[in-house]
């Protein structure tokens, strides 16, 4: 079999463990040099493929590649850039094939969410049509945990752990001060459409009265009256109230709570942030002193508190992607299959890209309590194993010792350029 190169790209919002997947891809490919010559990474994701800006990962030492496993963010750069449909912009896809052809790329590994799986599918379809064979393997990644078929998405377990740990710690703080100080604490987490991350905060509540006391999901229309009533009940019963709100929390008419927010002193549009909106709502109604936090990127970048389960998943997905490719498979995505909850066991599965492309998995209603303000035991059973285990990065001078790769460019071979 002819040796061919592989292309790997990171897509969309990065995570604490997407580089662990990259590590899995590269380390596995390096073990099969008879089939895969080099792994080229797209600089800034698929943009690197379109502009022929490829990174030669073979220039990195084994040690540097191994360090990816404990380094958050996208080591080669990622991008928010969705390819149009083939009908709308066939030139984009043809350009990809041109670049792949020029660099003898026979394997396309695309690491991202639902959009990215769709792109991988289209590339696989077009490569057939254009008579240039390329094996396309999608690799799951999203902090939002919104891909279907796979039990969970690499990236989610770590943000889930960060959120559960953080709200537990903040709640300890609030509880110890509530008598004379803050009574209501609101933490805003990611999740524009799916409430998985907000749900994960619920893992912090192990006993009656434990925080978080209220969780606001994008899937459940916000009921202001019920919410304010519950907030008061919590302060009355427990002395304080801790709330986790998803950035995508919305009113019954679909409008985001964040948009009911604020204008600045100059009258400019709202500044974003649903946490202050929620906190202020409670203040107006009940007068409680409040504090709020917006974790934003801290949550998805927090490799220092990554879930070991998540790191293992992420690495395994990268490894499996290469193995599938070596088995001659294409247009598929490796998946995580749960075989047992307690003890937690899982194995590698796979799905066709057609089944995951552009499909968004929201929280099932059975994972949310009847009143819409918490998670059920069924949800806990699902989430619990995903945050298990710690996988600390090495430290130097008190800071995590994250790797920054050399990211050397592969010499360009095409004479044409491509406008993004």
Residues involved in catalysis:
144
Residue 288 binds to a second copy (criterion: CB under 8 A): no
Residue 418 binds to a second copy (criterion: CB under 8 A): no
Stretch that binds a second copy, among 1-9, 23-31, 174-182, 243-251 (CB under 8 A): 174-182
- Strand partners of residue 216: 245
Report angle CA 112, 113, 117 to the nearest 5 degrees: 80
Q: Please tell me what DSSP assigns to residue 303.
A: G
Residue 362 binds to a second copy (criterion: CB under 8 A): no
Which residue in the set 369, 388, 409, 412 belongs to the binding site for a second copy (CB under 8 A)?
A: 388
Stretch that binds a second copy, among 30-38, 88-96, 348-356, 383-391 (CB under 8 A): 383-391
Return d(Cα 88, Cα 282) in angstroms, integer. 48
Binding mask 120-159 for a second copy (x = CB under 8 A): ----------------------------------------
CB closer to a second copy, 68 vs 353: 68
Which residue in the set 236, 253, 265, 411 belongs to the binding site for a second copy (CB under 8 A)?
A: 265
Q: Provide the phi-psi class of 44: left if phi over 0, else alpha when psi is between -120 and 50, else beta.
A: left
Return d(Cα 369, Cα 378) in angstroms, integer. 10
Which residue in the set 133, 297, 347, 408 belongs to the binding site for a second copy (CB under 8 A)?
A: 297
Residue 211 binds to a second copy (criterion: CB under 8 A): no
Residue 263 binds to a second copy (criterion: CB under 8 A): yes
Residue 74 binds to a second copy (criterion: CB under 8 A): yes
Contact 299/162 with Cβ under 8 angstroms? yes
| Ordered alpha helix ranges (H), 32-183 | 46-50, 62-67, 90-102, 114-129, 156-177
Return d(Cα 332, Cα 20) in angstroms, integer. 20
Residue 392 binds to a second copy (criterion: CB under 8 A): yes
Tokens of 141: 């990644």
Residue 255 binds to a second copy (criterion: CB under 8 A): no
Residue 400 binds to a second copy (criterion: CB under 8 A): yes
**Number of CB atoms found within 10 A of residue 160's CB:** 29
CB closer to a second copy, 164 vs 353: 164
Closest distance of CB 260 from a second copy, Å: 5
Tokens of 93: 């896809």
Residue 339: which residues within 8 A CB-CB, separation 6 or more?
A: 345, 346, 347
């Amino acid at each position: 079999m002819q040796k061919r190169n592989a292309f790997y790209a990171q897509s969309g919002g990065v995570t604490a463990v997407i580089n662990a997947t990259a590590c899995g891809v590269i380390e596995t490919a390096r073990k099969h040099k008879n089939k895969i010559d080099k792994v080229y990474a797209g600089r800034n994701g698929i943009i690197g493929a379109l502009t022929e800006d490829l990174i030669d990962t073979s220039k990195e030492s084994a040690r540097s590649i191994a360090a990816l496993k404990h380094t958050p963010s996208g080591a080669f750069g990622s991008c928010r850039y969705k390819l149009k449909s083939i009908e709308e912009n066939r030139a984009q896809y043809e350009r990809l094939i041109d670049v792949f052809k020029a660099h003898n790329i026979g394997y396309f590994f695309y690491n991202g969410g639902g959009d990215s799986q769709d792109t991988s599918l289209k590339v696989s379809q077009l490569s057939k049509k254009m008579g240039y064979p390329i094996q396309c393997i999608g690799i799951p990644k999203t902090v939002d945990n919104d891909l279907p078929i796979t039990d969970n998405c690499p990236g989610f377990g770590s943000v889930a752990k960060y959120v559960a740990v953080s709200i537990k710690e903040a709640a300890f703080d609030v509880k110890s001060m509530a008598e004379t100080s803050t009574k209501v604490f609101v933490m805003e987490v990611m999740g524009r459409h799916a409430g998985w991350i907000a749900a994960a905060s619920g893992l912090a509540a192990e006993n009656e009265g434990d925080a978080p006391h209220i969780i606001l999901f994008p899937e459940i229309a916000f009921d202001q009256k019920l919410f304010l009533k519950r907030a008061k009940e919590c302060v009355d019963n427990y002395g304080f109230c801790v709330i986790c709100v998803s950035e995508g929390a919305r009113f019954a008419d679909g409008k985001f709570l964040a948009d009911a927010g604020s204008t600045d002193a100059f009258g400019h549009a709202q500044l974003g942030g649903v946490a202050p909106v929620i906190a202020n709502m409670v203040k107006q109604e009940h007068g409680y002193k409040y504090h709020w936090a917006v974790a934003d990127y801290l949550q998805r970048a927090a490799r220092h508190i990554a879930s070991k389960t998540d790191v293992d998943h992420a690495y395994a997905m990268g490894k499996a992607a290469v193995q599938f490719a070596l088995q001659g498979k294409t247009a598929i995505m490796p998946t995580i299959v749960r075989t047992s909850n307690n003890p937690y066991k899982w194995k590698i599965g796979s799905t066709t890209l057609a089944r995951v492309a552009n499909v968004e998995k929201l929280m099932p209603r059975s994972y949310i309590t009847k009143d819409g303000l918490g998670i059920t035991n069924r949800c806990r059973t699902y989430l619990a194993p995903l945050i298990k285990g710690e996988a600390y990065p090495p430290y130097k001078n008190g800071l995590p010792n994250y790797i920054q790769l050399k990211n050397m460019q592969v010499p360009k071979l095409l004479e044409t350029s491509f406008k993004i």
